[in-house]
Amino acid sequence: MELETKFHDCFRTDKRFEDKVHFPYGFLKSGEFTIEQAGLLDLKGNAYQELATGLRKPRGEAEREFVAFCSGKKQAETVHERLWQRYQSKVTAASNTVSFNKKRLSQSVLSEEEM
């Protein structure tokens, strides 16, 4: 029972995690994550992000290991680490895509010419 309590205290946060830029319809509807992964991101994503950026100090061994993973000191081993790695890869891949939308292309060319 004590181990179970420690596990539930890890990555605890009061806020739901959303990424309206990369996943405007939510993690579940994106098709990029399983139901379980989307649920974990919703519930614990803010904690993941705060730990990864240093806004939050680790509260327990699991969170210390997560910070070590985020800083590149170890490979992703836990469910939390693998999920954050997957989320980061999706966000990074989305920002590296090239759009050949003519409307967007012409708008960007116009804005460059105005400079």
Confidence grade of residue 93 (pLDDT, cut at 50, 70, 90): confident
pLDDT in tens, 17-37: 999 999 999 999 999 999 999
Cα distance from N-terminal residue to C-terminal residue, the chain: 64
Task: Answer whether 0.85 is exceeded by the pTM.
Answer: no
Expressed as residue numbers, the domain containing 51 is 2-114
